[in-house]
Structure 1
């Protein structure tokens, strides 16, 4: 279940650091967060979809790794991102 291209474009525009930025940690984490929310909604309806649940766990692991990287390299950017996305930490 990929993200809708329009939603993806809005997320990239909101979290990018410069006009051509599509791969900074902030953008990647924001995109992963959107996909995670989408999968959570899917799993509320389809409780026994274990293949999607595994994919959700992999996405959460990827996001966690990127958050750890950002926290290690630039703590201020990490705090701003956590606050903007409304994540716990």
Structure 2
């Protein structure tokens, strides 16, 4: 499973505070909310919550890409998410 392999790849001392782990948690929440919103199309509060989580994840990924491109590319590949469009 993706969750176990990803969590085991992060060492114990940097689990909860690391950018990678936080992005992983946001991605997990986004995937759960996406499946929920497919069933409940008019759940506007969940839509708002998902937009907020998407914004947080985008800011975390921008921070990581500025600090360390190698870790950023590795994380994008592991989570199967695409790179955000730049303006």
Q: The TM-score by the shorter chain falls in which range? A: 0.7 to 0.9
Alignment of 1:5-84 (within 5 A): 10=4, 13-14=7-8, 16=10, 18-21=11-14, 22-84=16-78
Name the counterpart of 1:5. Answer: none
List alignment gaps of at least 5 residues for structure 2.
none
Over the residues paired in the alignment, what is the CA RMSD in angstroms? 1.7
- Secondary structure class of the residue paired with 2:41: coil
| Preserved CA contact (<8 Å) 1:70 1:78 | yes
TM-score in terms of structure 2 length: 0.84
Partner of residue 4, structure 1: none
Deviation at 1:23, TM superposition (A): 1.1
Query: What TM-score do the two structures reach when normalised by structure 1?
Result: 0.82
Structure 1's unaligned 5+ residue stretches are 1-7
* Shift in CA distance, 11/35, structure 1 to aligned 2, threshold 3 Å: farther
Tell me the SS of whatever aligns to 1:20: helix
Equivalent-residue separation in structure 2 for 1:12 and 1:66 (angstroms): 18
For CA contacts below 8 A with separation 6 or more, give which structure has more relative contact order.
2
Aligned length: 80
Deviating 4+ runs (over 4 angstroms): none
